[in-house]
Amino acid sequence: MSSEAKRIALAWVDEHRDLLVDTHQRIWELAEVGLQEWQTAKLLADLLEANGFQVERGVAGMPSAFVATYGSGKPVIGLMGELDALPGLSQEAVPYRKVRIEGGAGHGCGHNGYATTALGGALAVKAAMDAYGLPGTIKCFGCPAEETLVGKVFMVRDGVFEGVDACLGHHPGSVNGVFLGSGNAMNSVKFEFFGKPSHAGGSPEQGVSALDAVELMNVGVNYMREHVVQETRMHYVIEEGGHEPNVVPAYARSWYYVRAPERELVDRYYQWVLRIADGADLMAGTTHKVRFLTGVHNGMPNRPLAELVVANMRAIGAPTYTEEELAFAAELAKSISPEEKRTSLRKSPLPDAMSLMDVNLNPRIYDPYGEERKGGGGSSDVADVAWNTPTQEFGTACFLVGAPGHSWQNVAISGTSIGHKSTLFASKVMAGTVIDLLTDPDALARARADWQKRMEGLTYVSPLPPDLKPPLDQLKHD
């Protein structure tokens, strides 16, 4: 039954290619930032509802979050879709820098593909369920604000993922495969400092500079970097620092991410950062408030799910590229220097990374890799789902080999047929893997056993206070 069900699902993707490509491209054009993905969420939720899914919108206090459900009973398999774009990355689908909308956002992380894959995978599985009466339930989750680590962690805290037996997500990348590294846990927090205004030239002695406090805090954190584990990442922006140099700033605000390989380390380093903020008050004569926005755990990979994904990739076969697509990639690659690409590949956990110096689009399918990588780099709210149920995210090749994350190059290529092929391939892989989990109890049991082993001695505690609301204004200035 499984092979015939997969045949139906894969055929559905082929037959509805235009729908999925159009959805991919419309989300790419909408490019809505975190917690403001109203049109993107409506587009997806409306399509799922029109195809027989029961849709609950505005879940966990976020207008753009939704859950679409089809089927009944066990097992319950989740498909995650991420919705948000990145501010300031607007870009035309051309192989050189050309802003599409001045000051606009762009899908520099490829979430237009992530969201469309969840849609395509869910609808393809539904077609197979209808054709063969497959048991179980599928849930398609519309997850906002991954870039600011908000959507899923609030959804988990509010019980949206309860009862899910396994969960899958797809992230466009430069590789067809599954990375099993854990990433970093993280806290996101804003610091508001309050001083006293005064004429900066005529009466500076009567002023108390809130900007001084922000800068002194930043200096303290920068000295702290020497004394934390090397995988730690602490970075910040100054959102508000005054208006004219001739007025001592009475108000200033910074926004910090504090990341480390384990949740316990984040908690420890976060307390240290809070004490540094207290010290800035002592030095500058200010007062301050702390606004905690969100936090996430380090990742929890799942090898059996990863192996299922890779098996489906190989059965389906990776996309091939036309001469025009290869030429586009070659032209786009001119924007990345050989030195930058070499540095990127040296950091890569891929077993053959350095052999890719002359490769722009990587068609290879890899065995699950990188499990030895503990922490380092970015964070994802997928982690908080993974601490609660067996979960795995996988990647399909869309971006240039060696391109930096969150770049205009990623926006450009994601808006082309290269990006479309990545999403269509991922939709098939997602559908095939979900069908495996619906029809093979042993596959689901292996995923559950792997999760239980990794969770030995661990208990999930939400990093969010129970009364904390999603920061719906997080990208707006107060």
pLDDT at 475: 53
pLDDT at 378: 86
Is residue 9 domain-shared with residue 152, that is, in the same domain?
yes
Under the phi-then-psi rule, with left for phi > 0, alpha for psi from -120 to 50, and beta for the rest, what region is 457?
A: left
pLDDT at 267: 97
The residues facing 295 across adjacent strands are: 187
Confirm whether 60 is domain-assigned: yes
Assigned token pair, 468: 């904390």
Is residue 27 domain-shared with residue 169, that is, in the same domain?
yes
pLDDT at 266: 97
Assigned token pair, 176: 């067809």
Assigned token pair, 82: 């991420």
Confirm whether 91 is domain-assigned: yes
Place of tokens 């093979």: 440
Assigned token pair, 457: 């001695």
Residue ranges, the chain, pLDDT below 50: 477-478
Is residue 247 domain-shared with residue 313, that is, in the same domain?
no
Is residue 12 domain-shared with residue 110, that is, in the same domain?
yes
Is residue 354 domain-shared with residue 380, that is, in the same domain?
yes
Q: How far is CA 301 from CA 165, 209, 353, 413, in A?
A: 15, 46, 22, 28
d(CA 364, CA 395): 12
pLDDT at 474: 61
End-to-end CA distance of the chain: 57
d(CA 399, CA 234): 26
Is residue 177 domain-shared with residue 202, that is, in the same domain?
no
Q: At what angle do helices 17-30 and 111-132 cross, to 10 degrees?
A: 150
For 301-356, write each residue's pLDDT tens digit.
999 999 999 999 999 999 999 999 999 999 999 999 999 999 999 999 999 999 99
d(CA 399, CA 110): 9
- β pairing state of 76-82 and 136-143: parallel
Q: Which residues contact 180 (CB under 8 A, 6 or more apart)?
A: 301, 303, 306, 368, 369, 370, 371, 373
Name the domain count of the chain. 2
pLDDT at 477: 41
d(CA 437, CA 454): 20
Confirm whether 69 is domain-assigned: yes
Is residue 20 domain-shared with residue 119, that is, in the same domain?
yes
Is residue 53 domain-shared with residue 192, that is, in the same domain?
no
Confirm whether 327 is domain-assigned: yes
d(CA 187, CA 434): 32
Give the residue numbers spanning the domain of 211. Answer: 185-295
pLDDT at 374: 77
Q: What is the CATH number of the domain that holds 419?
A: 3.40.630.10
Is residue 66 domain-shared with residue 146, that is, in the same domain?
yes
Picking from 347, 354, 327, 341, the residue whose alpha carbon sits closest to that of residue 404 is 341
Instruction: Kindly report the number of other CB atoms within 10 A of residue 295's CB atom.
Output: 25
Picking from 343, 422, 429, 362, the residue whose alpha carbon sits closest to that of residue 174 is 362
Is residue 278 domain-shared with residue 336, that is, in the same domain?
no
CB 386 within 8 A of CB 302: yes
pLDDT at 478: 37
Assigned token pair, 258: 């504090």
Q: What is the CATH number of the domain that holds 263?
A: 3.30.70.360
pLDDT at 2: 81
